[in-house]
Chains A and B, each alone.
Chain A
Amino acid sequence: DGGITQSPKYLFRKEGQNVTLSCEQNLNHDAMYWYRQDPGQGLRLIYYSQIVNDFQKGDIAEGYSVSREKKESFPLTVTSAQKNPTAFYLCASSGWGALYNEQFFGPGTRLTVL
Chain B
Amino acid sequence: AQKVTQAQTEISVVEKEDVTLDCVYETRDTTYYLFWYKQPPSGELVFLIRRNSFDEQNEISGRYSWNFQKSTSSFNFTITASQVVDSAVYFCALSEANSGGSNYKLTFGKGTLLTVNP
B-binding residues in A (CB < 8 A): 31, 33, 40-45, 48, 50, 56, 58, 88, 90, 92, 96-108, 110
Contacts and interface: CB of A to CB of B under 8 A. Distances in A.
B64 to A, nearest CB: 16
Interface of B: 9, 31, 33, 35, 37, 42-47, 50, 52, 91, 95, 98, 102-106, 108-111
B3 to A, nearest CB: 11
Contacts of A97: 102-103
A108 B47 contact: no
Nearest to A58: B105
A33 B93 CA distance: 15
Contact of A99 (B43, B95, B106): B95
Contact of B108 (A43, A99, A100, A110): A43
Contact of B52 (A50, A88, A100): A100
A56 B95 CA distance: 17
A48 B33 contact: no
Nearest to A30: B103
A30 B43 CA distance: 24
A103 B111 CA distance: 17
